[in-house]
Amino acid sequence: QSVLTQPPSASGTPGQRVTISCSGSRSNIGSNAVNWYQQLPGTAPKLLIYSNDQRPSGVPDRFSGSKSGTSASLAISGLQSEDEADYYCAAWDDSLNAVLFGGGTKLTVL
């Protein structure tokens, strides 16, 4: 059971905007940066958003992140078929002295 809570699934049609939430607590999201990872089917995860809202080079600006209090969100605008993947949030937890991942959200492009 993940301490960071994500919806198990999300969906949208091409061109739509979808958001994926990640809920935590004061000891993790409330105190540390949130990072988001994208895992395409059969591949290793890839860093998508770091430090709450920063995009690594090469990540399209359709992807954006935000954080408020003990929650964070990933938004994908102009949804494309190649965005179909699993998305994970992650944050350090000060109480556990460990990295926590959310349970993951499977995004389906209809």
Partner 1 sequence: EVQLLESGGGLLQPGGSLRLSCTASGFIFSRLAMHWVRQAPGKGLEWVSGISGYGESTFYADSVKGRFTISRDNSENTVYLQMNSLRAEDTAVYYCAKGHYGSASSVSNFDHWGQGTLVSVSS
Query: Interface residues with partner 1 (CB under 8 A)?
Result: 2, 32-35, 37, 39, 44-47, 50-51, 56, 86, 88, 90-92, 94, 96-104
Question: Please, which residue, 17 or 26, has the CB nearer to partner 1?
Answer: 26
Q: How far is the CB of 81 from partner 1 (least distance, A)?
A: 23
Q: How far is the CB of 26 from partner 1 (least distance, A)?
A: 15
Question: Please, which residue, 90 or 107, has the CB nearer to partner 1?
Answer: 90
Question: Please, which residue, 50 or 75, has the CB nearer to partner 1?
Answer: 50
Measure the CA–CA gap between 41 and 87, rounded to whole angstroms.
11
Q: Is 86 exposed, middle or buried (0-12, 13-18, 19+ CB in 10 A)?
A: middle
- End-to-end, the C-alpha distance of the chain in Å comes to 29
Q: How far is the CB of 91 from partner 1 (least distance, A)?
A: 5
Measure the CA–CA gap between 7 and 60, rounded to whole angstroms.
23
Find residue 26's DSSP bridge partners.
none
Measure the CA–CA gap between 83 and 41, rounded to whole angstroms.
11
Question: Please, which residue, 13 or 41, has the CB nearer to partner 1?
Answer: 41
Q: How far is the CB of 69 from partner 1 (least distance, A)?
A: 18
